[in-house]
């Protein structure tokens, strides 16, 4: 089993590739490592100030990453559009490299796991702040 990210932006699905040449597909050996790829970065950004937190949130919303599991390279190839082409996807919050997918990728994407934008601990802190604002606000 291999885990890869599909990103869904501007109405199209892409297989996430490395930002530096040769732009190969980024794969993970297990689900935890795959989710950590985004979660550690996103959750760390929330502790570094408003701008970094907003940038992480915009990145998450704009690129909509989902971790999917595939059996092998052939299964990945079946998702890629023909001919396979790399796209540089840009946004104010960052950029990504993706390989455009065909319609087969939609089901994988729908069944995929999105990384958590905030940790459980951060979620609890937000809930506490919301409660306090409702009481005092």
Neighbouring-strand partners of residue 6: 15, 66
CA 95 to chain CA centroid, Å, is: 12
Mean pLDDT of the chain: 89
For residues 55 and 45, the answer to whether their CB atoms sit within 8 Å is yes
For residue range 19-67, list pLDDT tens digits in order: 888 889 999 999 999 999 998 888 788 788 888 888 888 988 899 999 9
Which tokens in the block code for residue 41? 């970065």
Residue linked to tokens 């937000």: 126
Residue linked to tokens 């802190």: 125
Cα atoms in the Cβ-side hemisphere of radius 13 Å centred on 12 = 15
What is the residue-wise DSSP string for 23-66?
-PBPEESSHHHHHHHHHHHHHHHTTS-HHHHHHHHHHHHHH-EE
What global pTM score does this model have? 0.84
């Amino acid at each position: 089993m291999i885990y890869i990210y599909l990103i869904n932006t501007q109405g199209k699905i892409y297989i996430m590739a490395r930002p530096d040449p040769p732009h190969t597909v980024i794969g993970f050996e297990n689900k935890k490592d795959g989710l950590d790829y985004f979660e550690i970065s996103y959750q760390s950004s929330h502790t570094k100030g408003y701008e970094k937190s907003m940038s992480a949130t915009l990145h998450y919303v704009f690129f909509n990453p989902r971790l999917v599991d595939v059996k092998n390279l052939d299964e990945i190839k079946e998702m890629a559009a023909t001919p396979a082409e790399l796209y540089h996807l840009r946004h104010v919050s960052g950029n990504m490299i993706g390989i455009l997918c065909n319609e087969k990728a939609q089901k994988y994407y729908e069944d995929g796991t999105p990384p958590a934008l905030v940790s459980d601990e951060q979620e609890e802190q937000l809930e506490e702040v919301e409660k306090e604002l409702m009481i005092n606000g």
